Amino acid sequence: MKNRLAHLIELVQKIPEDCLDKAIDLIEGIVDDSDEDKPSPPCPHCKSDKVRRFGSANKRQRYRCNQCSKTYMQTTNTAMHGSHCGEAAWKQVIKDTVDGVSIKATAKNLMLSTDTVFNMRHKIMLALEAEEARNPTVLSVVCELDDTFVLESYKGTKLPKGFWRKPRKHGAVAQKPGISNEYVCISTGVSRGSGTLAKTVTRATPSKDDINTVFEGHIEPETLIMCDGAKGYNDLGERNNCDVIVVKEKKGFTHTNTASSFHCFIKDRYTQYKGVATKYLNRYNALFSKLFRNSDNAVNEIYDLLRKSDGQHHHSVSDVRGLNLLEI
């Protein structure tokens, strides 16, 4: 889908100066008409639909509930609460996130600051993380469990003096060969039907306790688990009354190809996003889990999630900077 918002901005930049006032009046009229056409949303505080229009705030329609007498706007208690960007901008940021567009490219196309787009993207991922916590993914019938590894990253952070390694440039490699503490483990589970899970709890090779921590509450009893033979998966199978089948690679082919495809998807997105800071990794894991095998419907589904006025998906800028950070 074409970036229509960026195209509109491009057209506005070409408008002759003597036509600017006319164009502004026209666009403001369209915005005002769209507000008039929208039905009044129910009260996010008491859920009553006995509401009425109650002036405006920051050029946006405000409402008042006749039952609880509280005032609110369309975005109150939603993930978009407090944002100066409208529906079109949010949808485009969601689409760019889904398509793997970097934050700098999105900011340039929409003429927004990189901080604004960064905050919007992370609010999206925090909402997905909150939804996963409320409705955990359950892997059932036949699932493939496997691990993939990504190089740790302190992107956006200046390393202190005396740090144990020198700063890396994008695309650099680890100092040591093989899987070492320079790598962060992403434990993944993919159901053959539906359901995808990715989570990080440790560096290097995960232990039995790490595997149980990741998949606790996510495996349905009597599910057939296919894995690479790590001993921790046997313990997981016993805990959840599941059969475990060890799959060995033969001539480049394994029966865990779905999990391998998920790993390729994650690595590809890492490249497209120009790297991911390790402290934000579980937010991105929630995003990767949502997008794998579901990219076509993801934009509308995520936007509908952000519009929920239950307050469970609303996060502030301070949450973006400090909530649920990965510390390993």
Q: Could you tell me the residue ranges of all domains in the chain?
A: 136-284
Neighbours of 247 (CB within 10 A): 16
Our separate counts of H helices and E strands in the chain read 11, 8
What's the order of all strands across the beta sheet hosting 60-65?
A: 51-57, 60-65, 71-73
From CA 285, how far away is CA 146, in angstroms rounded? 14
With left for phi above 0 and alpha for psi between -120 and 50, is residue 204 left, alpha or beta? left
In the chain, which stretches have pLDDT less than 70?
A: 1-2, 31-38, 248-256
Minimal CA–CA distance to 281: which of 85, 150, 97? 150
Task: Tell me the pairing of strands 196-203 and 183-191.
Answer: antiparallel
Q: What is the pLDDT of residues 83-129, one digit of tens each?
A: 888 888 999 999 999 999 989 999 998 989 999 999 999 999 999 99
pLDDT the model gives residue 231? 81
E runs forming strands in 33-125? 51-57, 60-65, 71-73
Minimal CA–CA distance to 233: which of 216, 213, 255, 208? 208
> What is the DSSP code string of 108-132?
HHHT--HHHHHHHHHHHHHHHHHHH
pLDDT the model gives residue 254? 52
Which CATH code is given to the segment(s) 136-284?
A: 3.30.420
Q: Which helix (H) or strand (E) holds 91?
A: helix 87-99
Task: Tell me the pairing of strands 142-151 and 224-227.
Answer: parallel
Neighbours of 292 (CB within 10 A): 20
Contacts of 170 (CB under 8 A, 6+ apart): 274, 275
What's the order of all strands across the beta sheet hosting 142-151?
A: 196-203, 183-191, 142-151, 224-227, 243-246
User: Judging by beta carbons within 10 Å of its beta carbon (0-12, 13-18, 19+), is residue 224 exposed, middle or buried?
Assistant: middle
Alpha carbons within 13 A on the beta-carbon side of 103: 15
Q: What is the DSSP letter of 165?
A: S
